[in-house]
Amino acid sequence: VGAANGSNPISIVVPCHRVIGRNGTMTGYAGGVQRKEWLLRHEGYLLL
């Protein structure tokens, strides 16, 4: 999954920012973890 997400050229269309770690932690994202958290909050996800 990580390799596929890393090679995703259109990450906002194919929502790889929704992939989180098994324990709920933010994992790597090409746009940066802060942008990933912003996108998830913008979509209405509650981050604990």
Active site residues: 16
CA angle 11, 28, 26 (to 5 degrees): 105
Other Cβ atoms less than 10 A from the Cβ of 15: the count is 13
Report the distance separating Cα 24 and Cα 12, nearest Å: 21
